[in-house]
Chains A and B, each alone.
Chain A
Amino acid sequence: QVQLQESGPGLVKPSQTLSLTCTVTSGSISSANYYWNWIRQPAGKGPEWIGRIYTSGSTNYNPSLKSRVTMSLDTSKNQFSLKLSSVTAADTAVYYCARGWTGLRSDCFDYWGQGTLVTVSS
């Protein structure tokens, strides 16, 4: 069974860059039909999709965050990463990575990491 695990600092100072990595095990990050997502969820609120990266390396970001987001892929380590620049307290949230799967007339996130809390505070 595919497993995803987020890692990175739990505390980031305002104006700095948040950096997280998602490690995928029991499955190749280069597999066809899949893409790799970052989602965040502030306390007490619904999830917000941040963006995705395909195995080709092409990306697709939420326009609300696009100017501050960079995603990358490291196939040798079976990992993908998120960088979010110029963070503020509004970026405090639990950050999840998830696998996206494209099927016939459907597209869904079938495996998720456990999530990691990132707090923006000085």
Chain B
Amino acid sequence: DIQMTQSPSSLSASVGDRVTIACRASQTIHSYLNWYQQKPLKAPKLLIYGASSLQIGVPSRFSGSGSGTDFTLTINSLQPEDFATYYCQQTYTSPFTFGGGTKVEFK
């Protein structure tokens, strides 16, 4: 199985901050990398697919980059509704696997 490692596992930030979350795959996954946002007691919500494509309806302050094994999710100007847990997911090969999550907390 491809292992997905996210860092950090948690971070504290303030409204207006720029936040960066990293995700590393244990082998190349090309651009088959997605990012999801999950709030408590809610289903994950797709933010970014194909490493850098913004899902329809997602604010443009979210962006993704990377290819191969190293990827980044950036949130520019963090908003109150962005405090949540973020997961990366690889869909290059089965079984599809998720990272351990990064919890973005209020500083």
Contact = CB atoms under 8 A, between A and B. Distances in A.
B95 A107 contact: no
Contacts of B89: 47, 108-109
> Secondary structure at chain A's binding surface: helix, strand, loop or mixed?
strand
B95 A63 contact: yes
Contacts, number: 66
A26 interface: no
Contact of B32 (A46, A106, A114, A115): A106
Nearest to B101: A46
A34 interface: no
A42 to B, nearest CB: 12
A46 B87 contact: yes
A108 B49 contact: yes
Contacts of A109: 34, 36, 44, 46, 89
B45 interface: yes
25 contacts: A46-B99, A46-B101, A47-B44, A49-B95, A49-B97, A49-B98, A60-B94, A100-B91, A104-B50, A105-B30, A105-B32, A106-B32, A106-B49, A107-B32, A108-B34, A108-B46, A108-B49, A108-B91, A109-B34, A110-B46, A110-B55, A112-B44, A112-B45, A114-B42, A115-B43
Contacts of B46: 108-110
